[in-house]
C-alpha cells in the first residue's frame, strides 16, 4: 500500500528552469492538494483539486500550475523557477465526497532548491 508518493525527493534547479513535481496516490481519494513548507510559516496551500478535471487555487498559487487528468495523479509544475520557490513541497490526499474530517494523508515531501 504505497499511499501518497512524491517524486523527486530532492531537486536543484537554476533560476528560470521549469520542472514538474509528481504526486500519485493509490487510495482512490478524490481530494488532492499541494502545500509548501517554509521555516516559521508552517504549511501553505498552493493548489488543490476536489476531483478529476477540477482544480482551484490555494493561498500561494503564483508561479505554479496544476492539472488533474486522473484521480490518481496531481502534478505540480513550476513554470519558471525563482529562488523564492526554494522550499519543501508536500502533496496530500483525502477521501470521499463529503469531507467529514477524514484523515488527510501526506507524501514524504520534495526538497527543492532554486539557485
Residues of this chain that interact with other proteins (CB under 8 A) are: 31, 33, 35, 40-45, 48, 50, 56, 58, 90, 92-94, 97-104, 106-109
Helix or strand holding residue 86 (H, E): none
Give the residues across from 18 on adjacent strands. Answer: none
Q: Smaller CB distance to other proteins: residue 29 or 85?
A: 29
Report how far residue 113's alpha carbon sits from residue 115's, in angstroms, rounded to the nearest whole number. 6
CB 109 within 8 A of CB 92: no
Q: Which is nearer to other proteins, 18 or 59 (CB)?
A: 59
CB of 48 to other proteins, least distance (A): 6
Amino acid at each position: 500500500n504505497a499511499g501518497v508518493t512524491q517524486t523527486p525527493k530532492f531537486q536543484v534547479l537554476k533560476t528560470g528552469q521549469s520542472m514538474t513535481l509528481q504526486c500519485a496516490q493509490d487510495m482512490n481519494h478524490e481530494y488532492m492538494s499541494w502545500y509548501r513548507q517554509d521555516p516559521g510559516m508552517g504549511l501553505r496551500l498552493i493548489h488543490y483539486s476536489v476531483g478529476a478535471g477540477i482544480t482551484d487555487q490555494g493561498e500561494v498559487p503564483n508561479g505554479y500550475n496544476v492539472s488533474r487528468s486522473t484521480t490518481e495523479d496531481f502534478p505540480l509544475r513550476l513554470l519558471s523557477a525563482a529562488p523564492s520557490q526554494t522550499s519543501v513541497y508536500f502533496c496530500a490526499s483525502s477521501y470521499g465526497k463529503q469531507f467529514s474530517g477524514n484523515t488527510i494523508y501526506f507524501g514524504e515531501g520534495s526538497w527543492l532548491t532554486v539557485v
